[in-house]
Amino acid sequence: MRLILAALAALLTTLSPTLAAPGCPVTPGTTARVTVGDTGRSVLLHVPVSATREPLPLVFALHGSGGDGSAILAQSKLEMTSDLHGFIVAAPDAGIPVESGFVWNIPGVPTVTGKVPGPGDADDVAFLKTAIDWLAAQGCANPARVYATGLSGGGRMTSWLGCVASDRFAAIAPVVGLRAGNPLARDKARPDPATCMPKRPMPVIAFAGDADGTNPVQGGGAGYWQYTMEAAEARWAALNGCNTGPLRRDLAANLYERLHTQCRAGAEVAAWITRGAGHVWTADNDAMWRFFERYRR
């Protein structure tokens, strides 16, 4: 009888559907909206088709200003990359409503409406940290393997997470949005060192197009932008203690890289610039994941 029961239990285990992890609320290979604990806020969560019961790496995908979580999933195609490489994607809505979408709260920096977030606005950094803890508690996510990427305003928010939440994120990948703190008040062509002081080296891979007129790699633009992308790269390289770079090389006819290496904790700073590309998702998702995969918190 005992042998029969054991065989039955083994059969049921074989036939039962694979879950991302005990309690993870999304079926592998699908995307669903889930409420994060008692925050009253939610994320669109995609669990890869190959998910097992082990906690998986987690990539936050942050939408552009005026967008939402569904928009960034459509623009980035990260759900397909998730299924290919086996990580979870979380696409939240930002905390400040604007028209039909949302904008991120980066303290001291005006949103696209021109308004500087105030004390009554939602704290997006606190929410994202809570989301990490909640997804880890559900058994979905490995808290040592959490990464962030984002488009435009979401790229600037991703950069901000590198500045203020380096203890929670293992690497970041801003897309048309790399910053290294606010523009310096007395010289807007430089980042203000006091506004970006990560606790640990932060690996960075950034993507942009050299024909971007909204967040121009050459600098200028809106008040939240101003200094060049190369100045942002140099600042991250200094924060990470990189000793070599920028090394420049062509990766394709329309693509080149600037790379800082020999950094503390191996935290490289890379920038991939697409010639002729504008204010769009310029990221190579597979290259982004290969970069992320190298780092643990």
Distance of CA 87 to the CA centre of its chain: 13
- Output the CA–CA distances (angstroms, integers) from residue 39 to 15, 36, 43, 150, in the order listed: 36, 6, 11, 22
Model's pTM, two decimal places? 0.92
pLDDT at residue 23 in the model: 64
**Per-residue tens of pLDDT for the chain, all 297 residues:** 444 434 434 433 333 334 444 568 899 999 999 999 999 999 999 999 988 878 999 999 999 999 999 999 999 999 999 999 999 999 999 999 998 999 999 988 888 888 899 999 999 999 999 999 999 999 999 999 999 999 999 999 999 999 999 999 999 999 999 999 999 999 999 999 999 999 999 999 999 999 999 999 999 999 889 999 999 999 999 999 999 999 999 999 999 999 999 999 999 999 999 999 999 999 999 999 999 999 998
Q: Is the dihedral of CA 127, 166, 117, 177 positive or negative?
A: negative
Of 79, 78, 75, nearest to 29 by C-alpha is 79
Per-residue pLDDT at 18: 41
Which residue type, as a one-letter code, is found at position 197? M
What domains lie within the chain, and their CATH numbers? 2-293 (3.40.50.1820)
pLDDT given for residue 54 in this prediction: 87
110 close to 121: Cβ distance less than 8 angstroms: no
Q: What is the pLDDT of residue 109?
A: 86
The answer to whether residues 115 and 30 touch, using CB atoms and an 8 Å cutoff, is no
pLDDT of residue 11: 37
Cβ(103)–Cβ(96) under 8 Å? yes
For the beta carbon of residue 214, count every other beta carbon within 10 angstroms.
17
